[in-house]
Amino acid sequence: MKHPFPLTHLGDGELLRSNEAIWKQRQRCTAEGLAHLAEIDARQLYLPAAYDTMRSFCIHELRFTADEAEKHVTAARVAQRHPVIFTMIAAGRLHLTGVLILAPKLTPENAEELLAAAADQTLRELRELLAQWFPRPDLETKEPPSGDQLDLAASASPAPERVLEIIPDEIAHGGDGAPAARGKLMPLSPDRFGVQFTMSRNARDHYEYARDLLSHEFPRADLATVTEMALVALVEKLEKRKFCMTRRTRSGGRSSVDPRYIPATVRRAVHARDGGRCTFSSEAGKRCPATRFLEFDHVDEVARGGVATVDKLRIRCRAHNHYTAELTFGKGFMEHKRRQAQERAAEVRARKRPTAPAGSPAPERVEAPIPANGSPSTSCNEPTANGHRAPDTAPPPDDRDVTPWLRGLGVRASEARRMAEICARTMPDATLEERLKRALSYLATR
């Protein structure tokens, strides 16, 4: 194949000068590109282009990788707040990675001085500069592992991977709603994927308990099998709650005079028709790819007589639902309505918040796991076999002792105190509900 950019005819000096000019032009293009991204983001022009976030716009419209989109959108937003960054990037005095590691530390008070000190610094020098400006405590010294531990670590530890700069969520995402990458999902073959993540102790306990319950049906159920079964059950539960999707549907159903109420049959039909994806399309006919934060949207606004029928409803992502409303009623009007809704929600929460321990409502009902014998455990709101009931009033808000609640369920005093000690020792930061669930799971396995 013929070389697309033959350079053998250039002399040494000309080659070096041409190379320098190209990379200087690239630096300027990078700065101009970031300025364009920042302005598109500020005007929210990704919405009429049928994208729910700026990150999605960069991935699908500009063909960035997810990592490139995250970095460029973050750098553009930071540079929009501190415009001198555009000039520094165009002049080659600051690189994109430098913007990302400086971003969490930049404030209106220190930006001018810190950016001046960061000019023309290498990545290593930038790290040393931040260490001087913002010193951190020494790392903890750990005891060296034993020989057995070293052998285990060598056989079980994964290969090292690249560590990216840690950027605060409010800077990195800026409200986009894109989740931070906490795990690793890698395609291995057309139907197989490698997964790597850190599991909490609570998740580990539930996994082991689920594996025990499956022991008759699947004696050799491993983590992959249990996880797949759990995800299938979770998706079925969420689809039932959000889209009223069930294996066996009932005819009829309750009716409501509320014009915003959407019957279950309508929810199912609209979800099936729209394929669980935002239906907003740009003027060029491009459909929004969003499958997250989906909402049912009335084609004709409820305020203008819209009805909840299959042909008068559609699925929209939250961003395009808001965008459509702003086109209809005006951005200022919708912002005012959202503020009113937030204020009403805050008032409702304030009224529901207990003012005194004696009048505090009982905690939310805890669904206990089903024991191995198949009989469901008793809930906190129902009497037990021996006639005991859960306390009528909750402990003080800062009291997370599970003992009185277990006693109310008929658990012996010694056993209740033992469960309370285990919960306090193994999960000191957990809420009362989380501790009670853990205690009931322990008791159910016994």
- The answer to whether residue 252 scores a pLDDT higher than 60 is no
Top-ranked range on mean pLDDT: pick from 58-72, 160-174, 418-432:
58-72
Looking at 313, 331, 352, the residue that finishes a domain is: 352
Percent of the chain residues topping a pLDDT of 70: 76
Q: Are 420 and 401 in contact (CB under 8 A)?
A: yes
110 and 69 both lie in a single domain: yes
Tens of pLDDT along 120-170? 998 888 988 888 898 878 656 555 555 555 444 444 444 433 333 333 443
**Which of 57-66, 78-87, 272-281, 303-312 bottoms out in mean pLDDT, i.e. has the lowest?**
303-312
Q: Is 169 a member of any domain?
A: no
319 and 231 both lie in a single domain: no
Among the listed residues 101, 74, 75, the one whose alpha carbon sits nearest the alpha carbon of residue 90: 75
230 and 313 both lie in a single domain: no
E strands, 258-397, are: 294-298, 313-317
414 lies in which domain range?
362-445
Q: Is 185 a member of any domain?
A: no
HSE (side-chain half, CA atoms, 13 Å) at 105: 22
282 and 347 both lie in a single domain: yes
Higher pLDDT, 157 or 435: 435
Q: Is 166 a member of any domain?
A: no
- Looking up residue 272, the CATH number of its domain turns out to be 1.10.30
**Confidence class of residue 223 from pLDDT cuts 50, 70 and 90?**
confident
**Confidence class of residue 45 from pLDDT cuts 50, 70 and 90?**
very high
Backbone phi, then psi, for 23, in 5-degree steps? -75, -30
DSSP conformation letters of 45-109: TTTTTT-SSHHHHHHHTS---HHHHHHHHHHHHHHHHSTHHHHHHHTTSS-HHHHHHHGGG--TT
Q: Is 138 a member of any domain?
A: no
Backbone phi, then psi, for 149, in 5-degree steps? -65, -35
Q: Is 26 a member of any domain?
A: yes
**Confidence class of residue 117 from pLDDT cuts 50, 70 and 90?**
very high
Angle at 40 between CA 281 and CA 164, to 5 degrees: 105
Tens of pLDDT along 341-379? 889 888 888 887 765 444 444 444 444 343 333 333 333
Looking at 133, 151, 169, the residue that finishes a domain is: 133
Q: Is 93 a member of any domain?
A: yes
Looking at 248, 281, 308, the residue that finishes a domain is: 248
State the Rg of the chain over Cα. Answer: 29
**Confidence class of residue 381 from pLDDT cuts 50, 70 and 90?**
very low
What residues pair up with 193 in beta bridges, in sequence order?
187
Q: Count of domains in the chain? A: 4
- Helix locations, 214-280, DSSP H: 223-243, 264-274
Q: Are 129 and 118 in contact (CB under 8 A)?
A: yes
Q: Is 195 a member of any domain?
A: no
Among the listed residues 123, 34, 24, the one whose alpha carbon sits nearest the alpha carbon of residue 84: 34
**Confidence class of residue 35 from pLDDT cuts 50, 70 and 90?**
very high
115 and 17 both lie in a single domain: yes
**Confidence class of residue 249 from pLDDT cuts 50, 70 and 90?**
low
381 and 435 both lie in a single domain: yes
